[in-house]
A and B are shown apart, each in its own frame.
Chain A
Amino acid sequence: MEPSDLSSLIARCRAGDELAWEAFVRLFQRRIYGLACTYVSEREEAADLAQEIFVRLFETRARWATHDEFLPWMFQVARNRAIDFVRRRKVRRPAASVPSDEVPTLVDHTEGPEVQAIGGSRRAWLRAALGRVSALSREVLLLRDVQGLSVQETAAVLGVPAGTVKSRSNRARTELAEQLLTAGGDQRTS
């Protein structure tokens, strides 16, 4: 979507246009769901979290940031919601949950089943490595390298100086690479 289209979509959503809100949900559902999947590993929980994020966005749509600042603002809302969700889940575990090692089945209709299986397992492997790095590193990796925010945008979301984001980002990348290396070594050994 062009930036001007996104600006007008945001403006219409702020004005309370239901059609614009529907288009917004369809536009960002994959991204918000992808973000939710990095905080919780079960598909149903990720869908619940993503829905909560959208509901929160809907409730605050009159106060949405303008186009330039919208993405960092949206990720900040999503992050706060995800942190609340994870805390709540720690306190009150669901009565019956079915753990899933294969973190959500990522369907890509442009690829054949074989390529899709390889890509899915690689992503699951990467998600597992992301789950093993420290929380600080994971957040920086999610915002900088997964969601593609700039250093300044990441600093605005996390509420830290840009220099801190740079140093954390370097440490996080190294930590992730070391985790992948360790996991690869373990896999080879087993």
Chain B
Amino acid sequence: MTRPECLAFEQAVFGAGDGAVLLERRPDLAEHHAECLSCRRWLEAFTAGTEAAAGVPAFAAGVMARTAATACARARELSASAFDAPLPAVERSLVEAHLEICAGCRAVVAEMVTAMAALPALAEAEPGPWFAARVLGATSRRPAPAREAWRRRWAALVSRPRFAIETAYALTLCLVLVTGNPLSALEWTAARVEPLVERVETPIQAIDVRVRAWRHRTALGADAPKADVPGARTSWSRWIGKSWGALFQAWSGWFSRIVAGLRSLLAEARRWGLELLERARTLATEPHADSARFL
């Protein structure tokens, strides 16, 4: 959107016909010219249009300077596509008309023509007389034995950029599975905070109680008696059952500890909230005592 100051600037330049002389005579316009980038560009285009573009109205050059951002992009795109196939007559004339008044696009298109002529020369380069012999030497070796091929495949696997990340991930997973719960800090917090917290049945506790009851009811619970009927199950299936039970116990233990940690955090937050409320209530009931301290 053109501001009133910019319109006044344009009218003054049109009236004077010469921007440089006008700026010398009118300090207010010179100040606006120094501040307004749009008007600086417009004046440059106006001056260039007056001096260089014979037959092209200076007014058009000025308008283009203010609005030609998309026109320039379109003209450059069409000029680039002209290297693949000739442009239709209408588009060609539009681009030519634009290039007549836009020095920036003229320069870009000129560079484009030069570059397009020079680029095919980059397709080939002389590697030196030794190169073919080197490639033939590398590819004419006898087929590698199986162990060598396996070693090479392993080396290629290890030398991949992602190998370090994948190894770290796998090792972390193994470490967690072997050593147990990494969130033991939560458990420690729970043990520390538990005695300070008033015992109130929360929804999470209710769920925990239900989970414990369910575990006791099922055969996978730690203390529940296990059905052992000789001949009914093979040793393999018993082993699978035991492993699954142990895994389930480990995971449920983790879950319980995480729940306990979260519960203690919630309880601590609740305690802080209550303390703050108590403090606010004290301040509200005894305003004079506090204000007397500041007097």
Contact = CB atoms under 8 A, between A and B. Distances in A.
A148 B81 contact: no
Given A123-B121, A174-B108, A25 B161 contact: no
B292 interface: no
B111 interface: yes
Interface residues of A, number: 54
A146 to B, nearest CB: 5
Contacts of B139: 21, 25, 54-55, 58
A173 B116 contact: yes
B112 interface: yes
A146 B122 contact: yes
B131 interface: yes
Given A55-B138, A58-B139, A173-B80, A126 B122 contact: yes
Contacts of A126: 115, 118-119, 122
Nearest to B109: A177
A126 B111 CA distance: 11
B135 interface: yes
Contacts of B115: 126, 129, 173, 176-177, 180
B34 interface: no
Interface of A: 18, 21-22, 25-26, 29-31, 33-35, 37-38, 46-47, 50-51, 54-55, 58, 87-88, 90-92, 104, 106-108, 119, 122-123, 126-127, 129-130, 141, 145-148, 151, 166, 169-171, 173-174, 176-178, 180-181, 184
Interface of B: 76-77, 79-81, 83-84, 107-109, 111-112, 114-116, 118-128, 131-132, 134-136, 138-140, 159-161
